[in-house]
Amino acid sequence: MSNPPVDSSGPSPAPWWSDAVVYQIYPRSFADGNGDGMGDLRGVVERLPYLAELGVDAIWLSPFYKSPQADAGYDVADYRQVDPLFGTLEDFDAMLADAHQRGLKVIVDLVPNHTSDEHIWFQEALASPPGSRERDRYMFRPGKDEVPGSGDGNRPPNNWKSIFGGPAWTRITEADGSPGEWYLHLFDTKQPDLNWENPEVQEEMRSVLRFWLDRGVDGFRVDVAHGMVKEAGLPDWEGAAAMVEGTEVHREPMQPGDAPGAHTDLEEPHRAVSPTYPPSPFFDQEGVHDIYRDWHRVLEGYGSDRMMVAEAWVEPAERLARYVRQDEMQQAFNFDFLLAGWDAERMSESIDASLAAAASVGAPCTWVLSNHDTVRHSTRFGLKDPTTFPKGIAATDEQPDAALGLARARAATLISLALPGSAYVYQGEELGLPEHTTLPAEARQDPTFFRTRGAETGRDGCRVPLPWAADQPGYGFAGSHSLTAAPPWLPQPESFGPHAADQQDGVSGSTLELYRAALAFRAGRRLGLGTFAWADSHAPESGVLAFHNGDVLVLANTGFASAPVPEGYSVALSSGLEPAADWSGMREVPVDCTVYLAKN
């Protein structure tokens, strides 16, 4: 008698990214493997055991490609080379193999909206005449109302401003020395926008995708995913008037070994739609979706487990959901949740809207609280108004209440890790690192600081090299090289000492141990794939956020009075500083604390 046929038609397992916890590595600030003061790929390899032990599923590396570093690598001069600052392609391959061996997926950054002005294509465009094939790879235009051939076009083609401050257009000098065309750069002068109408640009970026897919990467974080296509005719935009006036000033990027202060050139969450202005002609245009459908097919050619995550600052949630339709990208960062601040009503609304929008297109939600462009949540939540979103914090600005900010950050993290979907963790948040809020102006590197003449402090404060060992120079940023290493590329504040990883490892109640415990709990209960429902005790108007994820009840208290633990439940994990031994007796959730509750 033959065996009955096996039914293998059951539901296929969810793809890995549906519930992945992704750890963002900002390579220049994660770990320095050669002692030159700059983080690098060897440094990443040395710390992979730490990441595996932390319990994350994947790492995303911000750009490490060849670049003059005018925007910390988001200005790519060669998409297929590793910048010597960070190592070599062989170092990348070794890092990828090691990560994979440890069960970690690897996502790399793709920067398709613009290249560096040092990219061979831009150099060729400068050396070629107007109207040439070389110029057509970028957005070159004559000046406004310029009479062809008259050379009188001394006004930029339209009124757009750079997201980093200052004009979005720069005029070039033609090869013969005459005043020439203008080129568009939504970001720094050194980041010319590509012309995505041009098939050569489209093919080149497909080829870049294949280059990294062939090496074995698991996915791409797509930079400015809402920006590549501009409205036909490049019309003026009413909203431009409200963008920060700025300057063309751009100093040289800092190199390892340079003293802080030798150099200088934010993007802030640049929203595609604002309540006051008509939709921007340079963000969230319909045409971007054709690009993602195309790339979806490229990735499909490599099987079903490669992914893309969109960095798209668009609202409302339904607009963002369009980026993760079934034939486009797999994930999009949920910045609405990041912007909700420490406020139960806003978080509650954001959770509802985000889950509904993602479900409408069958995509997983993502949860993000910090990244390399935003003030760390441990600091934002320590400000008088924990819903504000400063563009960097300087010594002369309001300084946060560090202890309050950290308590709220730990509590917010437990919320985000218990929600269904995928969560992103920005390097250092697992150490409870604060923003560096007193960096001297001469140490600053972020182009926004310079382009806005300091009106925006910029993003340097969240990019400070990590502290690994409290007693080592540079807080052990350079690992075994620390005693002889060059100082880290940005100075670290003294407050980093107690946050160093070696001070927290194995210490019950530390933020590092809280993250490890929360990630293990999340994995054990499969919360990322779980089913969400608001609980009876959910009362955002009183500051209490309460939801079920499967059998787990999550209760977060952002209010002013402690909240009771519902009957029949006991605390399985708390964001508070009390020892775990005290949890079993806990019947009240204190203010600024989140607990995971299990049924008795």
Q: Give which of 405, 329, 392 is closest to 366, Cα–Cα.
A: 329
Min dist. Cβ of residue 542 to ligand NOJ (A): 36
Active site annotation includes 223: yes
Q: Which residue is nearest to ligand NOJ (CB)?
A: 74
Active site annotation includes 311: yes
Q: Give which of 281, 366, 367 is closest to 323, Cα–Cα.
A: 366
Instruction: Report the C-alpha gap between 226 and 282 in whole angstroms.
Output: 8
Among 25, 224, 347, 369, binds ligand NOJ (CB under 6 A): 224
Q: Which member of 19, 32, 311, 336 is catalytic?
A: 311
Structure tokens at 460: 């340097």
Instruction: Report the C-alpha gap between 121 and 124 in whole angstroms.
Output: 5
CA distances from 354 to 364, 533, 534 (A): 10, 14, 14
Q: What letter represents residue 405's amino acid?
A: G
Residues 305-334 that bind ligand NOJ (CB under 6 A): 311
SS3 string, 380-431, reads HCCCCCCCCCCCCCCCCCCCCCHHHHHHHHHHHHHHHHHCCCEEEEECCHHH
Q: What values do phi and psi take at 176, rounded to 5?
A: -90, 5
- Cα angle 136, 138, 142; round to 5: 75
Among 51, 58, 111, 383, binds ligand NOJ (CB under 6 A): 111
Residues 6+ apart with CB under 8 A from 549: 418, 419, 420, 525, 527, 530, 531, 532
Min dist. Cβ of residue 70 to ligand NOJ (A): 10
Min dist. Cβ of residue 312 to ligand NOJ (A): 10
Residues 162-201 that bind ligand NOJ (CB under 6 A): 187
Nearer to ligand NOJ, 74 or 477 (CB): 74
Min dist. Cβ of residue 20 to ligand NOJ (A): 19
Q: What letter represents residue 71's amino acid?
A: D
Nearer to ligand NOJ, 426 or 547 (CB): 426
Q: Residue 71, interface with ligand NOJ (CB under 6 A)? A: yes
Cβ–Cβ < 8 Å for 518, 413: yes
Q: Which member of 75, 188, 223, 268 is catalytic?
A: 223
Q: What values do phi and psi take at 351, rounded to 5?
A: -60, -45
Min dist. Cβ of residue 365 to ligand NOJ (A): 20
Nearer to ligand NOJ, 319 or 538 (CB): 319
Nearer to ligand NOJ, 243 or 415 (CB): 243
Nearer to ligand NOJ, 187 or 220 (CB): 187
Among 17, 23, 60, 74, binds ligand NOJ (CB under 6 A): 74
Give one DSSP letter per residue of 56-90, joined into a string. -SEEEEPP-EE---TTTTSS-SEEEEE-TTT--HH
Min dist. Cβ of residue 24 to ligand NOJ (A): 10
Return left, alpha or beta for 331; rule: phi > 0 is left, psi -120 to 50 is alpha, else beta. Answer: beta
Q: Residue 373, interface with ligand NOJ (CB under 6 A)? A: yes
Structure tokens at 298: 């490229």
Nearer to ligand NOJ, 333 or 381 (CB): 333
**Site size for ligand NOJ, by CB under 6 A?**
10
Nearer to ligand NOJ, 447 or 528 (CB): 447
Residues 248-277 that bind ligand NOJ (CB under 6 A): 267
Among 223, 328, 430, 456, binds ligand NOJ (CB under 6 A): 223
Min dist. Cβ of residue 79 to ligand NOJ (A): 13
Instruction: Give the active site residues.
Output: 223, 311
Interacting residues toward ligand NOJ by CB under 6 A: 71, 74, 111, 187, 223-224, 267, 311, 372-373
